[in-house]
């Protein structure tokens, strides 16, 4: 039994706020096997379908320290980050930010302008990368997800008020 073999990967769907699975403590990726590759492929599928540039494990209900990204949206720019650690953050920039788990919500969020990341790729090989602008923002947003931190936690009170109707609609939709 490997780490992901009990998961029905084909049935995974985008998890939206306020689903408590977005707040789960995530486990490290330990098994870089066929089921892990299937999970990664499914995460890219969900991310592209929703029109995003990054997606973390909890956003498909899998509480694992993993995110995928395609910062340029170009074919061949798919990136996989397992067990990521962000370091060397510098500078600050405030930009409009969204999240696939918060459809139709955007808010200005202040993030570091530059950041580096240490992670493992789809084969489990360790690598380091340096990110600026959007890529640095993806590192920070997605590692927030695997620590159970969400866009709403980074929003100002003013942004929460500006988005209150959409947030309420998501809460109502979730409680069914």
Which residue out of 75, 94, 142, 171 is catalytically annotated? Answer: 142
Q: Tell me the site size for Co ion, rule CB under 5 A.
A: 1
Span interacting with Co ion, options 32-40, 95-103, 125-133, 152-160, rule CB under 5 A: 95-103
Q: Which residues contact 175 (CB under 8 A, 6 or more apart)?
A: none
- The question of whether 171 is a catalytic residue gets the answer no
126 forms bridges with which residues in the sheet? Answer: 120
In the bound complex, what is the minimum distance in angstroms from residue 174's beta carbon to Co ion? 16
Between 54 and 120, CB nearer to Co ion: 54
Residue nearest to Co ion (CB): 99
Which residue, among 138, 104, 141, 100, has the nearest Cα to 14 in the 3D structure? Answer: 100
Which window, 10-18, 21-29, 97-105, 128-136, contacts Co ion (CB under 5 A)?
97-105
Q: How far is the CB of 104 from Co ion (least distance, A)?
A: 13
Maximum separation of any 2 CA atoms in the chain, in Å: 48
Q: How far is the CB of 123 from Co ion (least distance, A)?
A: 25
* Residue 99 vs 146, nearer CB to Co ion: 99
Name residue 117's beta-bridge partners.
86, 129
Q: How far apart are the first and last CA of the chain?
A: 35
Exposure class string for 12-22: b at 16+ Cβ within 10 A, else e: bebbbbbbebb
Residue among 32 and 58 whose Cβ is closer to Co ion: 58
Out of 39, 60, 99, 114, which residue is the one contacting Co ion (CB under 5 A)? 99
Question: Which residue reads 């302008």 in tokens?
Answer: 113
Length of the chain equals 176
For Co ion, the binding residues (CB under 5 A) are 99
Active-site residues, by number, are 142
């Amino acid at each position: 039994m490997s780490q992901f073999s009990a998961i029905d990967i084909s049935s995974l769907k985008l998890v939206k706020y306020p689903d408590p699975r977005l707040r789960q403590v995530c486990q490290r990726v330990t098994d870089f096997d066929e089921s892990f590759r299937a999970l990664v492929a499914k995460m890219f599928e969900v991310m592209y379908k929703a029109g995003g540039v990054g997606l973390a494990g909890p956003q498909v209900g899998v509480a694992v320290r993993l995110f995928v990204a395609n910062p340029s949206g170009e074919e061949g720019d798919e990136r996989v980050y397992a067990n990521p650690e962000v370091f060397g953050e510098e500078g600050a920039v405030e930009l409009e930010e969204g999240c696939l788990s918060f459809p139709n919500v955007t808010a200005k969020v202040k993030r570091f302008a530059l950041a580096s990341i240490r992670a493992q790729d789809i084969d489990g090989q360790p690598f380091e990368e340096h990110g600026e602008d959007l890529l640095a923002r993806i590192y920070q947003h997605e590692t927030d997800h695997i620590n159970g931190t969400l866009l709403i936690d980074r929003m100002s009170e003013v942004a929460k008020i500006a988005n209150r109707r959409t947030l309420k609609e998501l809460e109502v939709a979730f409680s069914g």
